[in-house]
Structure 1
Amino acid sequence: MTIDAALIARLRGALDEEAAVGLLRRAIGTPSVTGEEAAFAALLAGELRGLGAEAVTVTEFAPGRPNVTGLLPGAPGVRRLLLVGHTDTVHVRGWAERWAGSEREDPFGGAIVDGAIWGRGSGDLKAGISTTLSAARLLARAGLRPPADLLFAFIGDEEGGEPGTGVSAGIKALAAGIEAGAGPRPDFAVYVEPTRLDLFTAQMGFLICDIAVTGRSAYFGVPETGVDALKAAHVILAALFAHSAALEARAPHALVGRPFLLVTAIQGGGYIAVPGECRISLILKLLPGESLDDAVAGLEAAVRAAPVDPAIQVTLAYPSGRDHPVGGTPTEVSPELPEVRLLAQAVQAVRPDRGAIRGAPYWSEAPFLANRLGVPTVYCAPGDIANCHTLEEHVIVDEYLDGIVAFAAFLAAFGEPSA
């Protein structure tokens, strides 16, 4: 099917805007802070069944924490498109206080204010999930059937910040199931992280490192009996900043920019005493094509070369392993892939100001699909990452509705020979 003005007009005419907005408001109204995804997963399973999806499964990747998958079949023997997004959100601490006495006071209220839908998870990423479901429903209302099999996967545990969670357990289980043949392997995937309806075909990699600097505390009147961890940390910080400068001197990536190292926290000090301990936390950004193993080696070499007192002990820990033990790998797919071009065409047919090829200013779970399974994956969905994880999280209603029409046009054409 050709994505043209006639198709867009047909889809716009069939769109039930009230139902689409209602779905997103119900999604926001079903709290799913990381670790507590079950109620939202149940809602999504019901929506898939309501669409007529086959093989709807609700499978726990951890006790009480399910993934949801389903299939809307296309024509026999066609290709498979995966629409995937995470069900969990970050916390709501401070939200009610920020908006006390206003329509937006309830973080799960889905208030519509100034043309936007507000609430925790609205952009990250319940708008994206709701877009996929509403687009599939729109196709049916318009009398269209996608030529490709549509696979849906709604997974938990993407967000960090809650104790014992945020290690991508949901998508790890999904990827393992596909590898084991428990589910069909897609040919292409759209992960519905917020992009303002642009296409993010590349993303950075990252590692987080906690450095413990241990000396020996001593009373301030006899400092010679101690070993000053804070003084050593100062030397290590200088080495870290020099290492970051070396990273930033590398050639930038066209979509992702330059690598760097950012010190995010320092803790240390003694009570009127020589500081015996100091801790430094940092995050390091990698570009597509760069290796996390090489990044660790470079970082540790820089730290070990810092000229600190030999009595100082320095240990490095990496608490945020995702698809790699120390962090998340970068990834990139070609903007020239036919599927990427088709999605961009669909978006631009609805919103000529969107559909640009960009790099993700965040890390999410595409590497589990692109790197581990070899499934080309892009990010695309309504919502603005700039207000996600904040007390200002919202999605513009018109952008959300435009996204539904654009996704429906993409689904209507995906899998045909011309795509």
Structure 2
Amino acid sequence: MTLASQLLAAQDVQADLALLRAAIGVESITGNESGFARFLHDTMKDLGLTADMAEFLPGRSNVWGRKPGAGAGQSLMFVGHTDTVHVRGWAEHWKGDARENPFAAMLMDGEIWGRGACDLKAGICAALAAYRLLGRLGIALNGDISFAFIGDEESGEPGTGVSAGARDMVQRVARGQIARPDFAVYVEPTKLNVYTAQIGFFIADIAVIGKSAYFGTPEDGVDALRATYAILGAIWAHGAELAAGPQHPLLGASNILVTALNGGGYIAVPGECSLSLIRKLCPSEGLDDAVAAFEAAVHSAPLEPGISLKISYPAGRDHRFGGSPIEIDPRHPAAQLLAGSVAEAGGTGGAIGGAPYWSETPFLVNEIGCPAVYCAPGDISVAHTFEERVKLDDYLAAIRAFALFMMRYCGTENSNPTGEPQ
């Protein structure tokens, strides 16, 4: 019997489903992560892990757990964020439907619905359930296995979403409070593909300031809306240059997208306008250089005297301007091993790819020198929406895939270095 077959035969589907449903049932909207952190702390203790919690900001906690290896082997960490986006409008959208409660974790047509189901409690629970599955088979890992679950990843709630939890976690690794792993899997949804690269980003808010004047005497004003039109043209020209530039093999071209525009509103020369945009970066680009090129493009717009600009960057993450792009070699042995484990476990993923989103692996790769990938069940396209859900079969396959990967990466007693029985 193959390892994958043994895992399938030993898997307790009802227990795995119950774990995910219980996790979704603990509300953990950004800023209110500590209840879910306590849930995970207790779960890890029940699994025989040494578990710890600590506040990364007052009233907001990270949680981590570890099991030392039984012999010489590589150390592996699973990482995920505990917070979810808000549920405003969810109950109204599903009024009278079985999915009305966003925390009920309704199972319908083979899918588990609810806030956090996809992003990313299925990934967290799959990692913990995988470790539990190894225990059911009496398998001890040679290398250390650890888990770190951190808050403040999601944006959207005032004063939050700046990766304060990730920053605290890597600082504890640097101080030796949390053991540094040899490799990490961050459980953002990937449809069980293995993402070795991710985009970077910055958000810019531009205030265009002119001078208002009565519509009958426009010569007394300085038209901020006209200036904004010129600035938009310069931004779109810059975007066209980016689109025509180098193509990353996993992430495509860089781009820039204007996301909001406000101005005018009175029967007068518009004295102020504002716009917001987001810039996608590929791993070959640095944030400082990208911001400098963007500002040069903005300032190249032909503006009449009397116009002033204020540019701010409100979404600093691992960098003051935003989030850094990152990649590891797609041929990295651990990434390939994980992809093979997914394929063997019966998952529908297993391809090497790139993340069209930003999350927190730059903290792992850049701050503590730990190569990391994204891999988990779920489709990012339904995250943050009223359609958030995860396929039960994919969640169960992820558990088996992660268990296979743990065995093969960390090694087991009486196994060769790939985790296969001798």
TM-score, normalised relative to structure 2 = 0.97
Q: Tell me what 2:44 maps to.
A: 48
Q: Does 1:396 align with 2:391?
A: yes
Q: Does 1:184 align with 2:211?
A: no
Which of the numbers 363, 367, 377 marks the counterpart of 2:362?
Answer: 367
Which of the numbers 349, 356, 360 marks the counterpart of 1:354?
Answer: 349
Q: Tell me what 2:127 maps to.
A: 132
Which of the numbers 17, 23, 26 marks the counterpart of 1:27?
Answer: 23
What is the CA distance between 1:353 and its match in structure 2?
A: 3.9
CA contact (8 A) 1:83 1:153 kept: yes
What is the CA distance between 1:76 and its match in structure 2?
A: 3.5
For 1:290, the aligned partner's letter is E
Which of the numbers 142, 148, 151 marks the counterpart of 2:143?
Answer: 148
Q: Does 1:120 align with 2:133?
A: no
Q: Helix, strand or coil for the counterpart of 1:414?
A: helix
* Cα distance in 2, alignment partners of residues 14 and 351 from structure 1: 15
Q: Does 1:107 align with 2:102?
A: yes
Q: Tell me what 1:280 maps to.
A: 275
Q: Tell me what 1:170 maps to.
A: 165
For 2:172, the aligned partner's letter is G
Which of the numbers 58, 69, 73 marks the counterpart of 2:68?
Answer: 73
* Cα distance in 1, alignment partners of residues 84 and 347 from structure 2: 30
What is the CA distance between 1:78 and its match in structure 2?
A: 2.6
What is the CA distance between 1:415 and its match in structure 2?
A: 2.7
Which of the numbers 2, 6, 18 marks the counterpart of 1:6?
Answer: 2
Q: Helix, strand or coil for the counterpart of 1:210?
A: strand
After superposing the two structures, state which structure 1 stretch, 178-187 or 125-134, moved more.
178-187
Residues 377-392 of structure 1 correspond to what in structure 2 (within 5 A)?
Answer: 377-392=372-387
* Cα distance in 1, alignment partners of residues 308 and 277 from structure 2: 18
Which of the numbers 210, 230, 233 marks the counterpart of 2:228?
Answer: 233
Residues 218-367 of structure 1 correspond to what in structure 2 (within 5 A)?
Answer: 218-351=213-346, 353-367=348-362
For 1:164, the aligned partner's letter is G
For 1:89, the aligned partner's letter is T
After superposing the two structures, state which structure 1 stretch, 71-80 or 325-334, moved more.
71-80
* Cα distance in 1, alignment partners of residues 384 and 122 from structure 2: 14
**Structure 2 unaligned residues grouped into runs of 5+:** 412-416
What is the CA distance between 1:92 and its match in structure 2?
A: 0.4
For 1:26, the aligned partner's letter is A
Q: Tell me what 2:414 maps to.
A: none
Which of the numbers 8, 32, 35 marks the counterpart of 1:36?
Answer: 32
CA contact (8 A) 1:146 1:414 kept: no
* Cα distance in 2, alignment partners of residues 196 and 352 from structure 1: 9
CA contact (8 A) 2:347 2:394 kept: no
Q: Helix, strand or coil for the counterpart of 2:202?
A: strand
CA contact (8 A) 2:33 2:151 kept: yes
CA offsets, 1:274-299, max 9 Å, x none?
Answer: 11110110000111121000001100
CA contact (8 A) 2:192 2:347 kept: no
For 1:380, the aligned partner's letter is C
Change (3 A) 1:415 1:327: same
CA contact (8 A) 2:347 2:397 kept: no
CA offsets, 1:80-137, max 9 Å, x none?
Answer: 1110000000000111111110110000110011110000000000000000110000
Q: Helix, strand or coil for the counterpart of 1:117?
A: strand
* Cα distance in 1, alignment partners of residues 138 and 4 from structure 2: 13
Q: Tell me what 1:94 maps to.
A: 89
**Structure 1 unaligned residues grouped into runs of 5+:** none
Q: Helix, strand or coil for the counterpart of 2:190?
A: coil
Q: Does 1:59 align with 2:63?
A: no
* Cα distance in 1, alignment partners of residues 232 and 332 from structure 2: 43
For 1:291, the aligned partner's letter is G
What is the CA distance between 1:352 and its match in structure 2?
A: 6.1
What is the CA distance between 1:315 and its match in structure 2?
A: 1.2
* Cα distance in 1, alignment partners of residues 293 and 164 from structure 2: 28
* Cα distance in 2, alignment partners of residues 372 and 400 from structure 1: 30
* Cα distance in 2, alignment partners of residues 399 and 418 from structure 1: 24
* Cα distance in 2, alignment partners of residues 238 and 28 from structure 1: 45
CA contact (8 A) 1:146 1:413 kept: no
State the identity as a percent: 55
CA contact (8 A) 2:192 2:348 kept: no
After superposing the two structures, state which structure 1 stretch, 382-391 or 264-273, moved more.
264-273
What is the CA distance between 1:39 and its match in structure 2?
A: 0.7
* Cα distance in 2, alignment partners of residues 91 and 361 from structure 1: 22
* Cα distance in 1, alignment partners of residues 121 and 296 from structure 2: 42
TM-score, normalised relative to structure 1 = 0.97
* Cα distance in 2, alignment partners of residues 144 and 161 from structure 1: 42
* Cα distance in 1, alignment partners of residues 168 and 348 from structure 2: 37
